[in-house]
Structure formats: structure tokens, C-alpha cells
């Protein structure tokens, strides 16, 4: 199988999400390997790696959210792809031999219900508290997810979460192999997306 080269990765800063650092190379004509011989190069992540990442994310979400919310369940692949939604989304990156980003999107109704359940009081959707709660939920999921993946050989440094909020929000991450997952709970449905790049 022919490898698709991606742009070389510099020393990654944990303050920058993965999707800002990795971009698919659209044209390989005239590519000179000598120019990147001293740099790290990424290739598209094989499906079996994604399967392990999906397992880790599902484990992390169920372990974290089942302790806080009600009837959290996996519904499989999210067939809405990158369709926009009215709500909030959090992103967090993991940097290692396999570097990857996790995005979790909460529709407005779900975000309101989960925030109230988590904080014990009503959190207005447009408030900074909603941003803080969303970021904290990402951190809580990232903990058991990372711990589980370390047992599978995925050593990685975890970055800081980023949060976006608005109408018709689209979480666009490169890589056509990105995995999209769908979850339900009594507080509402939510979606997750995983995209990865493997260093060689």
C-alpha cells in the first residue's frame, strides 16, 4: 500500500491542537525527501490503530460519564458526518508516536442538561461557565481514555482542551479515515470524533 506523506511535524507544542499542525499534502510532485530527512514525517493512520483508539474513547466516555450522567450508551458510528449543529464542542489532543485529537460535540439541549447535572445548578448556554464545564468534561474523559490507551502501548502527552460554541458548529478535522461515534444518555445525545496521524 503506497504511503501518503503528510507535511513534516515540528516539535509539537501542547498548546496547539493536532488539527492545526497536520495537513494532508495535496500534491507530491517534486517532493524531495532530503528536505525532511531530519524531521518527523506522518502517514495516514491505519484502520487497526483507529480501532484501538475508538475502543479507548468508548471506554473513557462510558467510565467518566456513567459516573455523572444517566443511562450513557454507545450507539455506534455517527452517520451525520460533519453536519453542523447548535451547541458546544470540545477538542483535546494527544501527542506521541501516534498523535491524535478527540472532539466531543454536545447539542444545545444536551449541553444544558449535562451542565446542570454536573454543576448542580442551571448553567446558561451563553455563559463562560458553559465553556468551563465543557472543557472540564473533556478533561474528565481524557483521563481514563489516556490511561486505557497507555496499557495498549499508546504513550502520549495530553494537551489542553479547546472549546467552540455557536449555531451550525462544524468540527472539521483532516483525514478521511476519521472515526465518528454517537452516544446517548438521559441528558441527551452527543457525538465524538477521532482523527490521528502516525509518525515514522
- Three-state helix/strand/coil letters over 36-78: HCCCECEEECCHHHHHHHHHHHHHHHHHHHCCCCCCCEEEEEC
Q: What is the pLDDT of residue 200?
A: 53
CATH ID of 46-195, from 1.10.286.10, 3.40.50.720, 3.40.1550.10, 3.30.70.940: 3.40.1550.10
DSSP strand pairing (42-44 vs 156-158): unpaired
pLDDT tens-place string over residues 22-75: 333 333 334 344 443 444 445 567 788 889 999 999 999 999 999 999 999 998
Report domain extents, the chain.
46-195
Yes or no: say if 192 and 90 are a contact pair by the CB < 8 Å rule.
no
Of 91-100, 131-140, 191-200, minimum mean pLDDT range: 191-200
Classify the phi-psi angles of 134: left when phi > 0, otherwise alpha if psi is within -120 to 50, otherwise beta.
Answer: alpha
pLDDT tens-place string over residues 1-11: 444 433 333 33
The strand pairing partners of 180, in sequence order, are 193
Radius of gyration, alpha carbons of the chain: 17
- Residue the block writes with cell 499542525: 21
Q: What is the pLDDT of residue 79?
A: 56
Higher pLDDT, 84 or 97: 97
- For 118, the grid coordinates are 454536573
pLDDT tens-place string over residues 121-149: 999 999 999 999 999 999 999 999 999 99
Residues 176, 57: Cα–Cα separation, whole Å: 19
* Average pLDDT for 87-111: 92
Q: What is the pLDDT of residue 26?
A: 31
pLDDT tens-place string over residues 145-171: 999 999 988 888 899 999 999 887 766
Amino acid at each position: 500500500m503506497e504511503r501518503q506523506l503528510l507535511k513534516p511535524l515540528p516539535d509539537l507544542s501542547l498548546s496547539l491542537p493536532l488539527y492545526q499542525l497536520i495537513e494532508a499534502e495535496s500534491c507530491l510532485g517534486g517532493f524531495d525527501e532530503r528536505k525532511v530527512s531530519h524531521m518527523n514525517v506522518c502517514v495516514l493512520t491505519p484502520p487497526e490503530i483507529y480501532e484501538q483508539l475508538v475502543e479507548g474513547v468508548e471506554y473513557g466516555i462510558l467510565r467518566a460519564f456513567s459516573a455523572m450522567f444517566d443511562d450513557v450508551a454507545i450507539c455506534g458510528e455517527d452517520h451525520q458526518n460533519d453536519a453542523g449543529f447548535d451547541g458546544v464542542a470540545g477538542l483535546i489532543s494527544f501527542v506521541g508516536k501516534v498523535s491524535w485529537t478527540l472532539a466531543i460535540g454536545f447539542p444545545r439541549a444536551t449541553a444544558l442538561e449535562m451542565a446542570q447535572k454536573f454543576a448542580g445548578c442551571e448553567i446558561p448556554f451563553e455563559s463562560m461557565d458553559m465553556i468551563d464545564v465543557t472543557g472540564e468534561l473533556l478533561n474528565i474523559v481524557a483521563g481514563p481514555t489516556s490511561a486505557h490507551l497507555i496499557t495498549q502501548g499508546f504513550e502520549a502527552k495530553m494537551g489542553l482542551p479547546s472549546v467552540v460554541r455557536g449555531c451550525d458548529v462544524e468540527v472539521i478535522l483532516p483525514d478521511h479515515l476519521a472515526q465518528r461515534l454517537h452516544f446517548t444518555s438521559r441528558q441527551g445525545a452527543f457525538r465524538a470524533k477521532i482523527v490521528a496521524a502516525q509518525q515514522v
